[in-house]
Amino acid sequence: MNKQLTILLAGRIITNFADSFYMIATLWYVKSVTDSVLLVGLTSAIAMVPVTLQFLYGPIIDRFSKQKILYIAVIGQGILVSVISLLYFSSILWLPILFILMFFALSLSEATYPTESASIEKLSCREDLTKVNSIFAFSFQTLDIVSDAISGFLIFFIGIGVIYISNGVLLVGTGLVFFFYLKIPKSKKERESSSKKFFAQYKEDFLQGFKVVRKQKILLSIMFGVIAMNVMATMGIAMLPIISSTSVEFGFWLTAMSVGALVGTVLSSKLEMIPLNWIMPSVSMFSGVFWVLSFITIDLHYIPLVLFGLSWIGIGIISIYVQTLIQINLPEEYLGIGFSFLSSLLGCLSTLGYLIGGLIGEFTSGTFVLLLGGTGYVGFSIYFLIHPKLNKLKNKLSVNIDESH
């Protein structure tokens, strides 16, 4: 990788580290204060709302400097997390205030994801996209393993407040690195001069981007299946704090997820030559079966953790494939809005998934909701196999979907 990709990667690792820690700390804080299944689900749902608003960022990402977007968003997020820590140490961190600050901090965080994905496309060639995406995912998922594994211990030994303040400092520092050292080539739209006012230009770019995304019929068919699968999964993930008796146990579940996703990330670049109509339903079915098995065997000590980790191998592969499919199939000048639109589609119903998971869990059990969540991957596999266009996708990942027909 070149120097600029390395800087972007280092920044992504640090911000991912901070995001993971303060989100886990927030979930555990809500559980310890309220012991409410519904409020834990609500916390996860609020965390997903900014994802649903990503479509608003698209025209800005495509039109303005990606470097500026990154450092402003990361520094702003760091300041908000620092405010949360000050309120916590002052013993006035009421849940409504926490939810509001968390919402704005995560809104800034969500602006960085499509910006980074669009930047990766600018900083690397098409032939290397799958490899670069895998390196990025591998790197911060490796850190996820570390952070998830030790998060429970850190909450127990050093406390939630220290986690908040240290992550605030990390985020501000990363934003300053982006400000001084990151250089991203301008896109075609960035180089264009416009005589229109901001909102008029924003509206025009937004509508143009929407039309471009809407034309991607096959890509959207894949995304709709992924969205449904994701809703089911988030219903289950919302219950992980509930089935965990301690913060350490919660950390073990998160570690299993990260290790599995990491393995899937490594394998994704090795499997990219396999036709999409074979690899996508196969890995999805693999994930669904092992996810369900992990909670059927919930009382068998560490076996459920191993099975749950195995299920996330397939999920890691699908995650890399979806990101690469978007990068390859959308025009370069519309990548920002494309990622934003499609991420919003994923996020809007994921929010509903967390709420539904919390609601069902309130009247049944966390284990039941987790079992239900795993069936989404089985459903996606069946959907891919019976869809009249998707089951004919014999091309490899790096080939434009439309060019293969």
Q: Which two tokens stand for residue 11?
A: 């920044």
Predicted local confidence at residue 52, as pLDDT: 72
28 pLDDT higher than 90: no
Q: Where are the alpha helices (DSSP H) in 64-187?
A: 66-89, 95-123, 129-157, 160-181
The answer for residues whose C-beta is within 8 angstroms of residue 184's C-beta and 6 or more apart is 4, 8, 65, 66, 67, 119, 122, 123
Return mean pLDDT, the chain. Answer: 81
Average pLDDT of span 197-212: 76
Query: Which one is predicted more confidently, 173 or 254?
Result: 173
Quick: pLDDT tens for 215-238: 878 888 888 888 888 888 888 888
Where is average pLDDT lowest: 7-21, 136-150, 214-228, 369-383?
A: 136-150
Query: Whose structure tokens read 């809104």?
Result: 107
Report the sign of the C-alpha dihedral through residues 76, 77, 80, 86, in that order.
Answer: negative
C-alpha–C-alpha distance, residues 307 and 295, integer Å: 9
Quick: pLDDT tens for 66-103: 889 999 999 999 999 999 999 998 888 888 899 999 89
Predicted local confidence at residue 83, as pLDDT: 93
Quick: pLDDT tens for 258-270: 888 888 888 887 8
Average pLDDT of span 38-54: 78
Pick the CATH number of 3-181+216-399 from 1.20.1250.20, 3.30.70.20, 3.40.50.10470, 3.40.50.1980: 1.20.1250.20
